[in-house]
Structure 1
């Protein structure tokens, strides 16, 4: 299985880079992992809805350049479906059994995802009703993907 994370913006903090590197290394034995960072747009303070939509659309164009036609796209959205770790592992496992060989997870920028990206999404996933920094969300997502593979393989970790 190939897993791609498409994310908006770069990680600047060393502690987050270290965590991402650690989970990337751990995932190496379960899947082929690729992390794609697309440039983010600066959002002016008190931006209008029109300006925010334009920013989301521009970031969305950059994201969609990396989305392959035959891949299964999971977008991270506040209004998405909340799953337990076991349910996420079941989802990943089921997709593999159904012949899906490439899952793409998309984490938007600070103001979310554009409508074209949302349209392309096959599944909307929410980690919480709370808002998390998108840089930290990358670590949380990688940890949950790793946990999913441990659960799928009946290996200790998920308790």
Structure 2
């Protein structure tokens, strides 16, 4: 199985990159794991209007969709998505695999979220919480939860 996290922006903080690298290393026992970082669009105004935000969403959405193949299972990370327990995420990944999909793309948008086109393409909308997290932290937490999901499905000690 191949798991991708497709995300907007780069992580600058070493503590986040170190944690993600550790989970990436651990995940190599279970799947081919990769993070695909795409450039963030900038708005040159401190008070962006809805047209500027929509333009950013459209541009970032196109970049994201170019990284997704038609056969991929896509989980869009968005606040209006469904919240799952760690066991629920493990079951979702297992069901996708049994259902014949070999690639799961978890998509994390930029600071303005995800375009409607990306949300429409998604097979599942996943919410981490009703709280808002920095995108860098969300990427780290998602990496850990994917690792935990594989540990759960293999009855590993990590989850206990």
TM bucket, shorter chain: over 0.9
Aligned counterpart, 2:17: 17
Aligned counterpart, 2:92: 91
Aligned counterpart, 2:118: 117
Cα offset for 1:57? 0.6
Aligned counterpart, 2:128: 127
CA–CA distance in 2 between the matches of 1:19 and 1:67? 25
Aligned counterpart, 2:37: 37
CA–CA distance in 1 between the matches of 2:157 and 2:121? 35
Unmatched segments (≥5 aa) in structure 2 = none
Displacement over 3 Å in runs of 4+: none
Aligned counterpart, 1:56: 57
**TM-score w.r.t. structure 2 length?**
0.97
Unmatched segments (≥5 aa) in structure 1 = none
Cα offset for 1:42? 1.5
Aligned counterpart, 2:75: 74
Cα offset for 1:50? 1.1
Q: Deviations over 1:41-78 (max 9, x none)?
A: 12332211111011011011111110001000000000
Cα offset for 1:2? 0.4
Q: CA RMSD in A?
A: 0.8
**TM-score w.r.t. structure 1 length?**
0.98
**Structure 1 range deviating more: 144-153 or 38-47:** 38-47
Cα offset for 1:156? 1.3
